[in-house]
Amino acid sequence: MKLTILVLFLFSLLNIQTCDVPKQSIGKHASTDSLAKIFKQKFTTIKVEDINKTEAHYIDSIFNKLYKQGSFNGAILVAEKGKVFYRNVFGVNDQSKKDKLDFSSAFQLASVSKMFTALSIMQLKEKGKLSYDHDIRYFLPEFPYNGITISDLLTHQSGLPNYMALSDQYWNQNIPFTNQDMYDLFVKYKPKLFFKPGSRFNYSNTNYAFLALIVEKISHMPFNEYVEKNIFVPAGMNNSFVFNPSKECRNEVIGYNRCRRGYSKIPKDYLNGVWGDKGIYATVEDMYRFDMALKYNILVKSESIEEAFTPIAAQSKNHPTKFYGFGWRIKYLDEQKIVYHFGWWKGFKAGYLKNMSRDVTLIILNNTNTFPDHQIVWGLLNYPNKLPKGS
Protein backbone atom coordinates (compact mmCIF):
# COMPACT_ATOMS: atom_id res chain seq x y z
CA MET A 1 0.00 0.00 0.00
CA LYS A 2 2.81 2.43 0.90
CA LEU A 3 4.60 1.73 -2.40
CA THR A 4 1.38 2.33 -4.36
CA ILE A 5 0.85 5.69 -2.66
CA LEU A 6 4.47 6.65 -3.31
CA VAL A 7 4.22 5.77 -7.01
CA LEU A 8 0.98 7.77 -7.43
CA PHE A 9 2.59 10.74 -5.67
CA LEU A 10 5.67 10.59 -7.89
CA PHE A 11 3.52 10.27 -11.02
CA SER A 12 1.71 13.50 -10.13
CA LEU A 13 5.02 15.27 -9.66
CA LEU A 14 6.21 14.14 -13.08
CA ASN A 15 3.29 15.94 -14.72
CA ILE A 16 4.80 19.22 -13.59
CA GLN A 17 7.03 21.01 -16.09
CA THR A 18 10.56 19.63 -15.93
CA CYS A 19 12.20 22.94 -15.01
CA ASP A 20 9.94 23.25 -11.96
CA VAL A 21 10.58 19.74 -10.65
CA PRO A 22 12.95 19.48 -7.69
CA LYS A 23 15.93 17.22 -8.29
CA GLN A 24 14.68 14.55 -5.91
CA SER A 25 11.06 14.56 -7.14
CA ILE A 26 11.28 11.26 -8.99
CA GLY A 27 12.79 9.54 -5.99
CA LYS A 28 16.21 9.01 -4.49
CA HIS A 29 16.79 5.83 -6.48
CA ALA A 30 14.74 3.88 -9.03
CA SER A 31 14.70 0.63 -7.11
CA THR A 32 11.36 -0.54 -8.55
CA ASP A 33 10.09 -1.21 -12.06
CA SER A 34 7.23 1.21 -11.38
CA LEU A 35 9.48 4.23 -10.88
CA ALA A 36 11.54 3.35 -13.95
CA LYS A 37 8.36 3.05 -16.01
CA ILE A 38 7.15 6.47 -14.90
CA PHE A 39 10.48 8.01 -15.84
CA LYS A 40 10.51 6.44 -19.31
CA GLN A 41 6.95 7.61 -19.96
CA LYS A 42 7.96 11.15 -19.10
CA PHE A 43 10.91 11.20 -21.51
CA THR A 44 9.74 8.87 -24.30
CA THR A 45 9.03 11.84 -26.55
CA ILE A 46 11.59 14.65 -26.52
CA LYS A 47 9.85 17.99 -26.77
CA VAL A 48 11.72 21.10 -27.93
CA GLU A 49 10.63 24.02 -25.76
CA ASP A 50 10.06 27.46 -27.24
CA ILE A 51 12.62 29.16 -24.99
CA ASN A 52 15.99 30.77 -25.57
CA LYS A 53 15.07 31.66 -29.16
CA THR A 54 18.07 33.92 -29.60
CA GLU A 55 20.48 31.27 -28.40
CA ALA A 56 18.82 28.55 -30.49
CA HIS A 57 19.18 30.73 -33.59
CA TYR A 58 22.81 31.44 -32.70
CA ILE A 59 23.59 27.73 -32.27
CA ASP A 60 21.82 26.84 -35.51
CA SER A 61 23.79 29.44 -37.47
CA ILE A 62 27.09 28.12 -36.06
CA PHE A 63 26.43 24.47 -36.90
CA ASN A 64 24.95 25.21 -40.31
CA LYS A 65 28.17 27.06 -41.10
CA LEU A 66 30.34 24.23 -39.77
CA TYR A 67 28.36 21.69 -41.80
CA LYS A 68 28.69 23.71 -45.01
CA GLN A 69 32.44 23.98 -44.37
CA GLY A 70 32.70 20.22 -43.96
CA SER A 71 33.71 20.67 -40.31
CA PHE A 72 30.68 18.97 -38.75
CA ASN A 73 28.56 15.96 -39.64
CA GLY A 74 26.42 14.80 -36.77
CA ALA A 75 23.87 15.70 -34.12
CA ILE A 76 23.60 18.31 -31.37
CA LEU A 77 21.22 18.89 -28.47
CA VAL A 78 21.19 21.67 -25.88
CA ALA A 79 19.01 21.81 -22.77
CA GLU A 80 18.66 24.22 -19.87
CA LYS A 81 17.10 23.23 -16.55
CA GLY A 82 16.02 19.98 -18.13
CA LYS A 83 14.24 21.61 -21.08
CA VAL A 84 15.51 20.99 -24.61
CA PHE A 85 15.55 24.25 -26.56
CA TYR A 86 17.71 23.17 -29.51
CA ARG A 87 18.36 19.91 -31.32
CA ASN A 88 19.33 19.17 -34.89
CA VAL A 89 21.15 16.73 -37.16
CA PHE A 90 23.44 17.66 -40.03
CA GLY A 91 24.76 15.49 -42.84
CA VAL A 92 24.64 11.84 -43.81
CA ASN A 93 25.43 8.46 -42.33
CA ASP A 94 26.82 6.67 -45.37
CA GLN A 95 28.69 9.01 -47.71
CA SER A 96 28.25 6.64 -50.66
CA LYS A 97 24.49 6.25 -50.20
CA LYS A 98 23.92 9.82 -48.95
CA ASP A 99 21.33 8.59 -46.46
CA LYS A 100 20.61 11.37 -43.99
CA LEU A 101 21.29 11.15 -40.30
CA ASP A 102 18.28 11.40 -38.00
CA PHE A 103 17.52 11.37 -34.29
CA SER A 104 17.63 7.55 -34.22
CA SER A 105 21.23 7.51 -35.54
CA ALA A 106 23.59 5.99 -32.96
CA PHE A 107 27.13 7.39 -32.79
CA GLN A 108 30.23 5.85 -31.22
CA LEU A 109 30.74 7.78 -27.97
CA ALA A 110 34.42 6.80 -27.69
CA SER A 111 35.73 7.95 -24.29
CA VAL A 112 32.36 9.43 -23.32
CA SER A 113 31.61 5.72 -22.72
CA LYS A 114 33.75 5.93 -19.59
CA MET A 115 30.99 7.59 -17.60
CA PHE A 116 28.76 4.56 -18.27
CA THR A 117 31.50 2.26 -17.03
CA ALA A 118 31.99 4.35 -13.90
CA LEU A 119 28.22 4.36 -13.35
CA SER A 120 28.18 0.55 -13.54
CA ILE A 121 30.83 0.43 -10.82
CA MET A 122 28.85 2.89 -8.70
CA GLN A 123 25.74 0.74 -9.02
CA LEU A 124 27.64 -2.34 -7.84
CA LYS A 125 29.09 -0.35 -4.97
CA GLU A 126 25.61 0.76 -3.88
CA LYS A 127 24.56 -2.91 -3.90
CA GLY A 128 27.48 -3.80 -1.61
CA LYS A 129 29.25 -5.84 -4.30
CA LEU A 130 32.48 -3.86 -4.08
CA SER A 131 34.31 -1.07 -2.31
CA TYR A 132 36.27 1.66 -4.05
CA ASP A 133 39.20 0.65 -1.83
CA HIS A 134 39.12 -2.96 -3.00
CA ASP A 135 42.38 -4.22 -4.47
CA ILE A 136 41.40 -5.34 -7.96
CA ARG A 137 43.15 -8.70 -7.41
CA TYR A 138 40.12 -9.49 -5.28
CA PHE A 139 38.20 -9.76 -8.58
CA LEU A 140 41.08 -10.57 -10.94
CA PRO A 141 43.29 -12.99 -8.95
CA GLU A 142 46.01 -13.32 -11.59
CA PHE A 143 46.49 -9.58 -11.94
CA PRO A 144 50.28 -9.10 -11.69
CA TYR A 145 50.42 -5.84 -9.68
CA ASN A 146 49.97 -5.06 -6.00
CA GLY A 147 48.05 -2.19 -4.49
CA ILE A 148 45.87 -1.01 -7.40
CA THR A 149 42.36 -0.23 -6.20
CA ILE A 150 39.01 0.33 -7.90
CA SER A 151 39.40 4.02 -7.06
CA ASP A 152 42.80 4.11 -8.76
CA LEU A 153 41.22 2.80 -11.95
CA LEU A 154 38.28 5.21 -11.79
CA THR A 155 40.53 8.25 -11.35
CA HIS A 156 43.37 7.19 -13.67
CA GLN A 157 45.88 6.85 -10.84
CA SER A 158 46.84 3.20 -11.37
CA GLY A 159 50.05 3.74 -13.35
CA LEU A 160 48.98 1.05 -15.84
CA PRO A 161 50.36 1.46 -19.37
CA ASN A 162 48.05 1.66 -22.37
CA TYR A 163 46.79 -1.77 -23.41
CA MET A 164 46.82 -0.72 -27.07
CA ALA A 165 50.62 -0.63 -27.16
CA LEU A 166 50.71 -4.10 -25.60
CA SER A 167 48.20 -5.55 -28.06
CA ASP A 168 49.93 -3.94 -31.05
CA GLN A 169 53.12 -5.69 -30.00
CA TYR A 170 51.85 -9.14 -29.07
CA TRP A 171 48.44 -9.69 -30.71
CA ASN A 172 47.48 -10.86 -34.19
CA GLN A 173 45.58 -7.84 -35.45
CA ASN A 174 43.49 -9.95 -37.80
CA ILE A 175 41.76 -11.40 -34.74
CA PRO A 176 39.28 -9.32 -32.67
CA PHE A 177 40.66 -8.37 -29.26
CA THR A 178 38.59 -8.50 -26.03
CA ASN A 179 38.89 -7.36 -22.42
CA GLN A 180 39.78 -10.90 -21.37
CA ASP A 181 42.51 -10.99 -24.02
CA MET A 182 43.87 -7.75 -22.61
CA TYR A 183 43.90 -9.23 -19.10
CA ASP A 184 45.72 -12.31 -20.35
CA LEU A 185 48.42 -10.20 -22.01
CA PHE A 186 49.02 -8.22 -18.83
CA VAL A 187 49.29 -11.45 -16.84
CA LYS A 188 51.72 -12.95 -19.34
CA TYR A 189 54.00 -9.98 -20.10
CA LYS A 190 53.68 -7.85 -16.94
CA PRO A 191 54.57 -4.47 -18.49
CA LYS A 192 56.17 -2.05 -16.06
CA LEU A 193 53.92 0.44 -14.25
CA PHE A 194 54.52 4.10 -15.01
CA PHE A 195 54.43 5.05 -11.32
CA LYS A 196 53.37 3.86 -7.87
CA PRO A 197 49.56 3.39 -7.81
CA GLY A 198 47.76 6.34 -6.25
CA SER A 199 50.69 8.71 -6.50
CA ARG A 200 49.95 10.45 -9.82
CA PHE A 201 47.37 11.02 -12.53
CA ASN A 202 47.84 9.55 -16.00
CA TYR A 203 44.85 9.18 -18.30
CA SER A 204 44.83 5.62 -19.63
CA ASN A 205 42.15 3.64 -21.46
CA THR A 206 43.47 0.54 -19.71
CA ASN A 207 41.87 1.63 -16.44
CA TYR A 208 38.35 1.59 -17.82
CA ALA A 209 38.83 -1.57 -19.85
CA PHE A 210 39.73 -3.34 -16.59
CA LEU A 211 36.74 -1.77 -14.83
CA ALA A 212 34.43 -3.25 -17.49
CA LEU A 213 36.01 -6.65 -16.91
CA ILE A 214 35.45 -6.29 -13.16
CA VAL A 215 31.78 -5.47 -13.83
CA GLU A 216 31.56 -8.75 -15.75
CA LYS A 217 33.23 -10.77 -12.98
CA ILE A 218 30.90 -9.37 -10.30
CA SER A 219 27.63 -9.39 -12.28
CA HIS A 220 28.28 -12.73 -14.03
CA MET A 221 27.16 -11.29 -17.35
CA PRO A 222 28.91 -9.70 -20.34
CA PHE A 223 29.47 -5.96 -19.95
CA ASN A 224 27.17 -5.12 -22.87
CA GLU A 225 24.33 -7.07 -21.27
CA TYR A 226 24.93 -5.42 -17.90
CA VAL A 227 24.79 -1.92 -19.39
CA GLU A 228 21.69 -2.78 -21.41
CA LYS A 229 19.83 -4.11 -18.38
CA ASN A 230 20.98 -1.64 -15.73
CA ILE A 231 21.45 1.63 -17.64
CA PHE A 232 19.85 1.66 -21.10
CA VAL A 233 16.54 0.05 -20.10
CA PRO A 234 15.81 2.10 -16.94
CA ALA A 235 16.92 5.32 -18.68
CA GLY A 236 14.75 4.62 -21.73
CA MET A 237 17.77 4.59 -24.07
CA ASN A 238 16.10 2.35 -26.63
CA ASN A 239 18.37 3.24 -29.55
CA SER A 240 21.67 2.76 -27.70
CA PHE A 241 23.92 -0.28 -27.49
CA VAL A 242 27.41 -1.50 -26.67
CA PHE A 243 29.32 -2.41 -29.81
CA ASN A 244 29.53 -6.13 -30.53
CA PRO A 245 31.94 -7.20 -33.31
CA SER A 246 29.69 -10.15 -34.20
CA LYS A 247 26.49 -8.15 -34.47
CA GLU A 248 25.43 -5.25 -36.69
CA CYS A 249 22.83 -2.79 -35.47
CA ARG A 250 20.44 -1.11 -37.88
CA ASN A 251 21.02 2.40 -36.55
CA GLU A 252 24.82 2.17 -36.21
CA VAL A 253 26.50 5.19 -37.81
CA ILE A 254 29.60 4.80 -40.00
CA GLY A 255 32.79 6.62 -39.02
CA TYR A 256 34.79 8.74 -41.48
CA ASN A 257 37.93 10.79 -41.75
CA ARG A 258 37.58 14.16 -43.42
CA CYS A 259 40.31 14.57 -46.02
CA ARG A 260 41.17 16.89 -48.90
CA ARG A 261 39.16 14.90 -51.43
CA GLY A 262 36.15 14.34 -49.22
CA TYR A 263 35.61 11.52 -46.72
CA SER A 264 37.36 8.20 -46.27
CA LYS A 265 35.50 5.40 -44.49
CA ILE A 266 37.23 4.01 -41.40
CA PRO A 267 37.58 0.20 -41.55
CA LYS A 268 36.69 -1.96 -38.57
CA ASP A 269 39.50 -2.08 -36.03
CA TYR A 270 40.56 -5.20 -34.11
CA LEU A 271 40.31 -3.20 -30.86
CA ASN A 272 36.67 -2.19 -31.37
CA GLY A 273 35.50 -5.06 -29.19
CA VAL A 274 37.25 -3.84 -26.04
CA TRP A 275 34.59 -2.39 -23.75
CA GLY A 276 34.66 0.13 -20.94
CA ASP A 277 37.03 2.74 -22.32
CA LYS A 278 34.85 3.13 -25.46
CA GLY A 279 32.32 1.07 -27.41
CA ILE A 280 28.98 2.60 -26.46
CA TYR A 281 26.82 3.86 -29.31
CA ALA A 282 24.04 6.32 -28.48
CA THR A 283 21.72 8.81 -30.14
CA VAL A 284 21.71 12.45 -29.16
CA GLU A 285 18.22 12.06 -27.70
CA ASP A 286 19.22 8.97 -25.71
CA MET A 287 22.11 10.96 -24.26
CA TYR A 288 19.58 13.55 -23.12
CA ARG A 289 17.55 10.75 -21.49
CA PHE A 290 20.74 9.60 -19.78
CA ASP A 291 21.27 13.17 -18.60
CA MET A 292 17.77 13.25 -17.12
CA ALA A 293 18.25 9.83 -15.51
CA LEU A 294 21.29 11.22 -13.71
CA LYS A 295 19.45 14.41 -12.76
CA TYR A 296 16.56 12.50 -11.19
CA ASN A 297 18.62 9.69 -9.62
CA ILE A 298 17.07 6.92 -11.69
CA LEU A 299 20.35 5.02 -12.06
CA VAL A 300 22.22 5.72 -8.82
CA LYS A 301 21.70 7.75 -5.67
CA SER A 302 22.43 11.47 -5.59
CA GLU A 303 25.30 10.82 -3.18
CA SER A 304 27.00 8.60 -5.76
CA ILE A 305 26.62 11.24 -8.49
CA GLU A 306 28.03 13.90 -6.19
CA GLU A 307 31.02 11.68 -5.52
CA ALA A 308 31.53 11.11 -9.24
CA PHE A 309 31.50 14.88 -9.81
CA THR A 310 34.07 15.53 -7.09
CA PRO A 311 37.61 16.20 -8.39
CA ILE A 312 40.14 13.64 -7.22
CA ALA A 313 43.35 14.17 -9.18
CA ALA A 314 44.86 17.23 -10.84
CA GLN A 315 45.86 16.55 -14.43
CA SER A 316 49.11 18.47 -14.14
CA LYS A 317 50.71 21.33 -12.28
CA ASN A 318 50.39 23.47 -15.40
CA HIS A 319 46.60 23.10 -15.47
CA PRO A 320 45.49 23.23 -11.81
CA THR A 321 41.84 23.96 -12.70
CA LYS A 322 41.33 20.66 -14.54
CA PHE A 323 40.43 17.54 -12.58
CA TYR A 324 38.99 14.06 -12.98
CA GLY A 325 36.28 12.37 -10.91
CA PHE A 326 34.67 8.98 -11.55
CA GLY A 327 34.39 8.87 -15.35
CA TRP A 328 34.03 12.63 -15.64
CA ARG A 329 36.44 15.47 -16.21
CA ILE A 330 35.74 18.45 -13.96
CA LYS A 331 36.57 22.03 -14.81
CA TYR A 332 36.03 25.35 -13.06
CA LEU A 333 35.50 28.47 -15.19
CA ASP A 334 35.46 31.39 -12.78
CA GLU A 335 32.71 30.32 -10.35
CA GLN A 336 31.09 27.87 -12.76
CA LYS A 337 31.54 24.12 -12.37
CA ILE A 338 31.61 22.08 -15.58
CA VAL A 339 31.51 18.27 -15.67
CA TYR A 340 32.21 16.75 -19.05
CA HIS A 341 34.01 14.27 -21.25
CA PHE A 342 35.18 14.28 -24.85
CA GLY A 343 35.82 11.21 -26.94
CA TRP A 344 37.60 10.24 -30.13
CA TRP A 345 37.80 6.84 -31.79
CA LYS A 346 38.30 5.83 -35.43
CA GLY A 347 36.21 8.39 -37.28
CA PHE A 348 34.05 9.57 -34.39
CA LYS A 349 34.25 12.53 -32.04
CA ALA A 350 31.84 13.21 -29.21
CA GLY A 351 31.31 15.65 -26.38
CA TYR A 352 28.95 15.61 -23.40
CA LEU A 353 29.15 18.67 -21.14
CA LYS A 354 27.13 19.90 -18.18
CA ASN A 355 27.39 23.40 -16.73
CA MET A 356 26.33 22.56 -13.18
CA SER A 357 26.09 26.21 -12.15
CA ARG A 358 23.66 27.16 -14.94
CA ASP A 359 22.09 23.69 -15.35
CA VAL A 360 22.93 23.61 -19.05
CA THR A 361 23.62 20.38 -20.96
CA LEU A 362 25.43 20.29 -24.30
CA ILE A 363 25.65 17.06 -26.35
CA ILE A 364 27.60 16.93 -29.61
CA LEU A 365 28.02 13.71 -31.62
CA ASN A 366 29.98 13.57 -34.86
CA ASN A 367 30.84 10.72 -37.23
CA THR A 368 33.95 12.33 -38.71
CA ASN A 369 37.33 13.27 -37.27
CA THR A 370 36.33 16.94 -37.10
CA PHE A 371 34.79 18.77 -34.16
CA PRO A 372 33.80 22.34 -33.20
CA ASP A 373 36.75 24.22 -31.76
CA HIS A 374 37.40 25.02 -28.12
CA GLN A 375 35.95 28.54 -28.17
CA ILE A 376 32.66 27.38 -29.69
CA VAL A 377 32.08 24.50 -27.29
CA TRP A 378 32.92 26.33 -24.08
CA GLY A 379 31.22 29.48 -25.32
CA LEU A 380 27.91 27.65 -25.81
CA LEU A 381 27.94 26.58 -22.16
CA ASN A 382 28.23 30.20 -21.08
CA TYR A 383 26.13 31.98 -23.75
CA PRO A 384 25.43 34.93 -23.98
CA ASN A 385 28.29 35.95 -21.70
CA LYS A 386 31.93 36.08 -22.64
CA LEU A 387 34.04 33.01 -22.05
CA PRO A 388 35.12 33.00 -18.37
CA LYS A 389 38.75 33.34 -17.38
CA GLY A 390 40.72 30.11 -17.09
CA SER A 391 39.01 28.49 -20.06
pLDDT in tens, 199-223: 889 999 999 999 999 999 999 999 9
Query: Which of 84-93, 135-144, 266-275, 305-314 is predicted least confidently?
Result: 305-314
Structure-model confidence comparison of residues 203 and 7, the more confident one: 203
Stretch 361-371: mean pLDDT: 95
Q: Do 59 and 78 form a contact (C-beta atoms < 8 A)?
A: yes
Q: Give the pLDDT band of residue 42 (cuts 50, 70, 90).
A: confident
Asked if the model's pLDDT at residue 318 lies above 50, the reply is no
Stretch 140-155: mean pLDDT: 96
Query: Which of 107-111, 205-209, 300-304, 317-321 is predicted least confidently?
Result: 317-321
- CA atoms of 223 and 43, how far apart (whole Å): 25
Q: At what angle do helices 179-189 and 163-170 cross, to 10 degrees?
A: 80
**What is the model's pLDDT at position 11?**
39
Q: Give the pLDDT band of residue 237 (cuts 50, 70, 90).
A: very high
107: which residues sit within 8 A by CB, 6+ positions away? 74, 75, 253, 281, 282, 283, 284, 348, 350, 365, 366, 367
Asked if the model's pLDDT at residue 126 lies above 90, the reply is yes
**What is the model's pLDDT at position 20?**
33
Q: Do 361 and 351 form a contact (C-beta atoms < 8 A)?
A: no
Domains and CATH numbers, the chain: 1-45 (no CATH), 46-382 (3.40.710.10)
When the pLDDT of each residue in the chain is averaged and rounded to a whole number, the result is 87
Query: Which of 183-187, 317-321, 360-364, 376-380 is predicted least confidently?
Result: 317-321
Stretch 335-351: mean pLDDT: 94
Q: What percent of the chain has pLDDT over 70?
A: 87
pTM above 0.75, yes or no: yes
Q: Give the pLDDT band of residue 52 (cuts 50, 70, 90).
A: confident
Question: Over the stretch 56-66, which tens digit does the pLDDT of each residue have?
Answer: 999 999 999 99
**What is the model's pLDDT at position 322?**
55
Question: Over the stretch 153-196, which tens digit does the pLDDT of each residue have?
Answer: 999 999 999 999 999 999 999 999 999 999 999 999 999 999 99
Q: How far separated are the first and last CA of the chain, in Å rounded? A: 52
Helix (H) or strand (E) holding 78: strand 74-80
- CA atoms of 156 and 202, how far apart (whole Å): 6
Q: Give the pLDDT band of residue 197 (cuts 50, 70, 90).
A: very high
